[in-house]
Amino acid sequence: MGFFFSSSSSSSFVFFFLAFLQLFSIVNGRNLTHSSFTPFNHDLYHSSRFIAKEIKGLVVRHPDRLRMETMRAQNKGYNAEVLVVTYNRARKDVNDSSKFRILLSFGQHGRELITSELALRLLSSLSEEKSIPNVDLSSLNNILEKIVLKVVPMENLNGRKRVEAGDLCERRNGRGVDLNRNWSVDWGKKEKDYDPHEENPGTAPFSEPETQIMRKLSKSFDPHIWVTVHSGMEALFMPYDHKNTTPDGLATHVMKSMLNDVNRLHCKDRCLVGSGGGSVGYLAHGTATDYMYDVMKVPMAFTFEIYGDKEASMKDCFRMFNPVDRTTFNRVVNDWSAAFFTIFKMGPHWMDLVHFNSSKLESIDEYLEGYLIERSSRYGKRMEVLDLGMQEIRTYFRLFLLSSVLLMFMFCSRISKSKYATIRPIVSAVSL
């Protein structure tokens, strides 16, 4: 017995069939879109809870060199906590206040998971539980005894938890503020390409508990070197972020020379080197590094960008900001751990150059100022005619001194390049 459909039932069937196909295509289209994005790789990356647990274990096992504290702050019901690990080899014959102080921050943006993995590897290496290719810690004992290191493994814990919950593109903190736009230097200024979702600076400078904690930490510690570690590209940045220029003076040459050495030794000259605002292609206002340099007067302040996948889709955030295979993962954490040991070794040397230059310029300026005052008081108005000439002499004398220091700096730089050439990182053949 055959079946037949009336025209009305036939049209209804076609309608529902087409509707089903459309719904099926939409659902599957969404699934295809999401499946094309790289998921959180739990085989490579640890959870925030696991990282904290591992670090606490390191502190318990190595009380002679590691200690830990949790700093907390809150604003209008929003709470934040930041874990701070201090590395300090206590020696009775070395005063802590005379040691070289370095402050490192990782995980300021939640989606940049690789940075906190680097922090964990670095602390494990300092504890001598993990080794780094081509880095002999025993040869650095004398240097490591003369530094105090404070490490913030995960500055933005609340933002990181949002990433772990599935929002893989989240860079902001737990209430939607970009912590690297919440500092006071040039705060709140917006460029033409400003993205309110990505770069929300908050309601005011230091409105966020996380930045309040970091400001308090930097004030109490008073570091000689500051480094905030990010991912998204390969770069070594110095001030400034909010303008496309670098600071004046010899300190700029010292910082750039130091970055060039790190680039040559550990980045195989792949990394961009220069000011953040002049190199990255856009200006950033209210950043931590600009604050550390301009307000806290940290002599050497840097932003390190340790990894980026240029081929990744803008929406495939996990792949864009984090290595997704073990070979690249290990290369990144090993290379950049070695880079930090180079900084530990070279930092005091470069700082001596900065201090030498600034103290010499100040002393000669004071001498010439005193000479002018003494001559003016002795000869009165007759010396007014010579004031301009004396100012010119002072200017030329300072330029002469500066050029002499620069020549000495270049000579020392050549020596240091040969001296530290033994620190060679392992770099895989994986192309980025």
- The arrangement of strands across the sheet holding 225-230 comes to 66-75, 78-88, 147-152, 100-106, 225-230, 300-307, 233-238, 272-275
Q: At what angle do helices 326-379 and 250-266 cross, to 10 degrees?
A: 160
Quote the pLDDT of residue 349.
84
Dihedral, CA of residue 121, residue 271, residue 218 and residue 57, to nearest 10: 0
Tokens (6 digits) for 101: 């102080």
Name residues whose C-beta falls within 8 Å of residue 33's C-beta, 6 or more positions apart in sequence: none
79-127 pLDDT, tens digit each = 999 999 999 997 555 566 789 999 999 999 999 999 999 999 999 999 9
Phi, psi of 234 (to 5 degrees): -115, 110
Annotate 41-82 with DSSP letters as a single string.
-TTT---HHHHHHHHHHHHHH-TTTEEEEEEEEEETTEEEEE
For residues 117 and 45, give the distance between their C-alpha atoms in angstroms, rounded to a whole number: 7
Q: Which residues of the chain have pLDDT under 70?
A: 1-36, 91-96, 355-432
For residues 172 and 180, give the distance between their C-alpha atoms in angstroms, rounded to a whole number: 9
Instruction: Tell me the one-letter amino acid at 174.
Output: G
How far is Cα of residue 45 from the mean position of the Cα atoms in its chain? Answer: 20
Instruction: Tell me the one-letter amino acid at 199.
Output: E
Cα Rg of the chain, angstroms: 27
Q: Please tell me which residue in 170, 305, 311, 366 is annotated as part of the active site.
A: 305
Instruction: Tell me the one-letter amino acid at 181.
Output: R
Indicate if 305 belongs to the active site: yes
Quote the pLDDT of residue 411.
62
CATH superfamily to which 48-350 belongs:
Zn peptidases (3.40.630.10)
Quote the pLDDT of residue 24.
40
206-216 pLDDT, tens digit each = 999 999 999 99
- Give buried/exposed letters for 205-227 (b at 16+ CB in 10 A, else e): bbbbbbbbbbbebbeebebbbbb
Quote the pLDDT of residue 364.
42
Q: What is the C-alpha end-to-end distance of the chain, expressed in Å?
A: 68
Quote the pLDDT of residue 21.
41
Quote the pLDDT of residue 350.
82
